């Protein structure tokens, strides 16, 4: 007897439809799985046998062959337990195969027949919907993330016998649905707010500009000046996640098993802060079976790298591709996978190895040579991908103890969102660009024209303030964002003047030669 069950496999962060074919024939009892199964799939036969028997069904004492099609793609994970079990029971004619044509199934089985959660179910549910299935049977623990997919009946099952009873038509199960608008409304709040930051008005302004234009930013300041506090509040002023962005981000977290069970969808922009001991594979992604790294987990959000010079040189250099392209390509002998990685980089470093250079409260003990070596750990090509260089001085005691509340994240977000709307309209015909930071030289030429006064000011800055040549286009990008924040169609001299202040490292590097 032959039975077919719809299921799915993960290919990167995307779901691939897989058909589980089960054939039961006369002959010596055996159980074989073909179709490029990996270790966890090959081991499923023991779990399947025990689960079927402990659920009260008789396991066929015959020759059983399982084929996972398409056969040219490796199949991994434990999610095939449930479809294989259902296929065996259907092929043994313990229930009708009719509903198997309309419903898929994914889930890991315990030895007593309970169904456990699996990673990447959101992507697998999206693949099932695209395949045209009516519904999908999923573990109860994963039901919320699968229910995000519209147009697909999501059937929660906790035990193998529940799945069999549903497919046999004995016990109907009500599909789970999710109110997406309510989900966003209830879970789109942040626990921190810019109103909690004392002083640092210049730094707040820089972060507002970074959020409005999607600019990468480097903060330099002594320990305790508030760099981390500022960085953690940057997501609170970014525009709200659209459903498409939330879905794309949630797929990454679902594959990694990091999706919050109580929500089933990422409704706030991610903030990732990897430790400086992280490896290049941990940051960029990789492994024998490639998996997303921190840069992909920060997709549509913030990647915060504190103590930037303390990261290994090879780790910092692999950042260049995602910063430039907005994605990561990981090549292996069998396949090449692309993971999304469009984020705002927020980097922080001390002004010197001891951290006290320029701090009015402490004396610096570093020599000029030590300071230079410390700064040179960050390569020129990486610095070239960071638009805003910001000095964050220590907060004076008077400001630190002030009772006055700063401007709220909500008020800042309104200005940022208005500026982003202008950019969306400006680049509406170009799918490559989402914000000002992504402009190419050609886009800068088209969108960043200067009047005579602004051009003269920028020329003076380059010639007399020691700005590097590479800072020219960065200043134009920042100026364009400042103009957008001010709802100005043209870039004015005061916009350029403010933008020049955010290229501190260019001035210093120029003067050190």
**Preceding peptide of 241 cis, ω within 30°:** no
What's the pLDDT score for residue 472?
87
Is residue 311 domain-shared with residue 277, that is, in the same domain?
A: yes
What's the pLDDT score for residue 134?
97
Q: Is residue 507 part of a domain?
A: no
Q: Is residue 447 part of a domain?
A: no
Q: How confident is the model at residue 511 (pLDDT cuts 50, 70, 90)?
A: very low
DSSP state of 484: H
DSSP 322-380: HHHHSEEEEE-SS-EEEEE---EEEEEE-SSSSS-TT-TTS-----HHHHHHHHTTS-H
Is residue 405 domain-shared with residue 303, that is, in the same domain?
A: yes
Q: Is the pTM value of this prediction over 0.85?
A: yes
pLDDT tops 70 at residue 69: yes
Percent of the chain with pLDDT over 90: 77
Q: Is residue 96 part of a domain?
A: yes
Q: Is residue 226 part of a domain?
A: yes
Q: How confident is the model at residue 462 (pLDDT cuts 50, 70, 90)?
A: confident
- Residue 401 backbone zone (phi > 0: left; psi -120 to 50: alpha; other: beta): alpha
* CATH number of the structural domain spanning residue 296: 3.40.50.300
Q: Is residue 500 part of a domain?
A: no
Three-state secondary structure along 422-452?
HHHHHCCCCCCCCCHHHCCHHHHHHHCCECH
Residue span of the structural domain in which 100 resides: 2-167
Of 428, 456, 480, the domain-final residue: 428
* CATH number of the structural domain spanning residue 11: 3.30.230.10
Q: Is residue 28 part of a domain?
A: yes
Query: Which distant-in-sequence residues (6+ apart) come within 8 Å of 44 by Cβ?
Result: 33, 78, 80, 81, 84, 109
Of 380, 406, 428, the domain-final residue: 428
Is residue 67 domain-shared with residue 195, that is, in the same domain?
A: no
Is residue 130 domain-shared with residue 204, that is, in the same domain?
A: no
Q: Is residue 443 part of a domain?
A: no
pLDDT, one tens digit per residue, over 423-445 is 999 998 887 788 999 998 899 99
Q: How many structural domains compose the chain?
A: 2
**Which of 8, 43, 38, 11 is CA-nearest to residue 121?**
8
Q: Is residue 22 part of a domain?
A: yes
Is residue 67 domain-shared with residue 138, that is, in the same domain?
A: yes
Is residue 192 domain-shared with residue 332, that is, in the same domain?
A: yes
The whole-number average pLDDT for the span 208-213 is 98
Identify any residues that bridge with 220 across adjacent strands, giving them in sequence order.
349, 391
Q: How confident is the model at residue 78 (pLDDT cuts 50, 70, 90)?
A: very high
């Amino acid at each position: 007897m032959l039975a077919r069950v719809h299921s799915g496999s993960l290919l990167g962060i995307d779901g691939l439809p897989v058909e589980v074919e089960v054939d039961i024939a006369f002959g010596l009892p055996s159980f074989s799985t073909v179709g490029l199964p990996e270790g966890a799939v090959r081991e499923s036969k023991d779990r399947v046998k025990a689960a079927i028997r402990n659920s009260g069904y008789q396991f066929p004492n015959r020759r059983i062959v399982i084929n996972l099609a398409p056969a040219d793609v490796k199949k991994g994970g434990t999610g095939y337990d449930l479809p294989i079990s259902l296929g065996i029971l259907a092929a043994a004619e313990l229930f009708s195969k009719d509903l198997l044509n309309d419903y898929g199934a994914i889930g890991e089985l315990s030895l007593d027949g309970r169904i456990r959660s699996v990673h990447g179910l959101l992507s697998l549910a999206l693949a099932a919907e695209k395949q045209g299935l009516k519904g999908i049977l999923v573990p109860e623990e994963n039901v919320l993330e699968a229910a995000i997919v519209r147009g697909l009946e999501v059937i929660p099952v906790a035990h193998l016998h529940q799945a069999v009873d549903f497919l046999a038509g004995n016990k109907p199960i009500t599909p789970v649905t999710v109110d997406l608008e309510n989900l966003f409304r209830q879970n789109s709040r942040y626990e921190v707010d810019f109103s909690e930051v004392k002083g640092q008005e210049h730094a707040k302004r820089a972060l507002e500009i970074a959020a409005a234009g999607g600019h990468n930013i480097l903060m330099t300041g002594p320990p305790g000046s508030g760099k981390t506090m500022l960085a953690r509040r940057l997501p609170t002023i970014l525009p709200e996640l659209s459903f498409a962005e939330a879905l794309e981000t949630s797929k990454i977290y679902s594959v990694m098993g990091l999706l919050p069970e109580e929500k089933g969808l990422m409704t706030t922009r991610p903030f990732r802060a990897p430790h400086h001991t992280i490896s290049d594979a941990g940051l960029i992604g990789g492994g024998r079976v490639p998996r997303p790294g921190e840069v992909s987990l920060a997709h549509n959000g913030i990647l915060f790298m504190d103590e930037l010079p303390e990261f290994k040189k090879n780790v910092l250099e692999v950042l260049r591709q995602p910063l430039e392209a907005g994605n990561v390509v990981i090549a292996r002998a069998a396949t090449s996978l692309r993971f999304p990685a469009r984020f705002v980089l927020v980097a922080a470093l001390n002004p010197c190895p001891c951290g006290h250079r320029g701090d009015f409260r402490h004396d610096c003990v570093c020599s000029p040579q030590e300071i230079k070596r410390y700064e040179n750990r960050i390569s020129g090509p990486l610095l070239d991908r960071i638009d805003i260089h910001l000095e964050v001085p220590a907060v004076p005691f008077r400001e630190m103890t002030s009772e006055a509340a700063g401007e709220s994240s909500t008020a800042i977000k309104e200005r940022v969102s208005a500026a982003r709307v202008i950019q969306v309209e400006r680049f509406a015909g170009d799918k490559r660009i989402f914000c000002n930071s992504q402009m190419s030289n050609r886009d800068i030429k088209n969108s960043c024209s200067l009047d005579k006064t602004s051009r003269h000011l920028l020329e003076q800055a380059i010639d007399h303030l020691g700005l590097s040549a590479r800072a020219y286009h960065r200043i134009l990008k920042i100026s364009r964002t400042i103009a957008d924040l001010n709802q100005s169609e043209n870039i004015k001299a005061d916009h350029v003047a403010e933008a020049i202040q955010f290229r501190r490292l260019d001035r210093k590097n120029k003067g050190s030669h």
